[in-house]
A = this chain, B = another copy of it.
Amino acid sequence: MPLEIERKFRPASFEPPGTAVREHIEQGYIAIKDDGTEVRLRRIGGSRVLGVKRATGGEASVRVEVERELGEQEFTELWPATAGARLVKDRYTFASAGVTIHVDVYQGELTGLLTAEVEFGSVAEAEAFTPPDWFGVEITGVRGYKNQTLATRGLPES
């Protein structure tokens, strides 16, 4: 999936529905560039993934993403390159109101932060989406809530 079009929100609280699938995620950034391009290592469930995302400019929520599986040894050898740029979270995934919702429950220094994300097939679909009340304030494209920022600078002030 080369293009990623998403909207992101900050719920005040979250009770996982019984249908939600929970995954534990540890991720760290090998590189974060000024233009938003990021190189990420992620351990999710039993798999390990190297990912590169590039902001395409213009529409802030549209990004190019490439991911590849890594072996355990490869992951372990590269992981030290993410020092100082890591985060841990549980991700709950479930369907609701015709879309797939990911709710991330952050841990460690970010404990208390919740985010809800929905990915769309087109910008038109993204714009047509009406978030449920519990989604709270929208933080799509807000730099302080990007995972790359959270991993390096912690929670935003406000």
Interface residues of A in 1-50 (CB under 8 A from B): 2, 30-31, 33, 35, 37, 39, 50
A64 on the interface (CB 8 Å rule)? yes
Could you say which of B33, B54, B66, B77 contacts A54, with CB atoms under 8 Å apart? B77
With an 8 Å Cβ cutoff, the count of chain A residues facing the other chain is 20
How does the 8 Å CB contact mask read for A53-84 relative to B, with 1 for contact and 0 for none?
01000000000101010100110011011000
* Majority secondary structure, A binding face: mixed
A52 on the interface (CB 8 Å rule)? yes
Interface residues of chain A, those whose CB is within 8 Å of chain B, are 2, 30-31, 33, 35, 37, 39, 50, 52, 54, 64, 66, 68, 70, 73-74, 77-78, 80-81
